[in-house]
Amino acid sequence: MAKQYDVVVIGAGPGGMTAALYASRANLSVLMLDRGIYGGQMNNTAEIENYPGFSSILGPDLGQKMYDGATQFGAEYAYGNVTQVRNQGALKEVITDEDTYLAKAIVIATGADHKKLGVDGEETYSGRGVSYCAVCDGAFFKNRELVVVGGGDSAIEEGLYLTQLASKVTVIHRRDQLRAQQIIQKRAFANDKMNFVWNAQVEAIEGDDMKVTGVKYRDKETGEEHVVPASGAFIYVGVNPLTSAFTDLGILDEAGWVPTDELMATRVPGIFAIGDVRAKNLRQITTAVGEGGQAGQSVFNYIQSLNDVPETVDAK
């Protein structure tokens, strides 16, 4: 038989763990499900410098602290790749590869995944020089020349991290200026190991039988093609929401994001969404945590409303 909880939180990143903390602290039975280790993308972040209370902290360390807090009031954690959620009215059915769970409320905190460039060589050399995580793979490229594709916060922060290992890091960006925060840009421009190629469209990842050897790009102004020699290509060109399990619920927008109101509620009663999976502009640990707190309180209020018995009126 399917095990039942008051709330199932799908995703154990910073938002999901905060929602579990608030809901379990309100004496609700809580299950956190995640297809990987708790902490989410924090596990792939070397240093976090913009989380209140810490001048700097390693991503995995912050993830562990959040997990310890999230489980202190009885919230459970389990591995589970959620494939579908069915709305059965008062109960929601959460289906994973191996188990099925029932819950009065659901918090979707599945986050987002890295976009692919979709160019020749990207899939061929994935794991052989093409990476989407500098912290995971940077150590394999000590004293090598590397390329970072992108111009946002993630691209430049990870590029700076790679300069601690690589001999040279070239940032290829399709625009003529970065989109990263100014403080991050200043660090990048001041770093002797970082170089920049502007107005460039990546055309292919080149390599030999074993590994990446360079990144081919087209100059958008002149149309000329060039190759940047590199042993690795780290790609940061945006994210896609991880929402395929929720397509039947009718809660997604045309791009696959989950719109919510200010209480983190979706258009289906009892289903809430937080963090990077939401349709919003700023995707940070701090915003996910704030949304998680709100969702935990909203879940409590929703379940309380299910338990309320309306007063009867004496017709005599």
The residues assigned a catalytic role are 133, 136-137
From CA 209, how far away is CA 212, in angstroms rounded? 9
Q: What count of residues does the chain have? A: 316
CA 178 to the chain's CA centroid = 21
Q: Are 203 and 217 in contact (CB under 8 A)?
A: yes
From CA 287, how far away is CA 218, in angstroms rounded? 37
Q: Are 6 and 30 in contact (CB under 8 A)?
A: yes
From CA 23, how far away is CA 295, in angstroms rounded? 8
CA 310 to the chain's CA centroid = 41
| N-term to C-term CA, the chain | 46
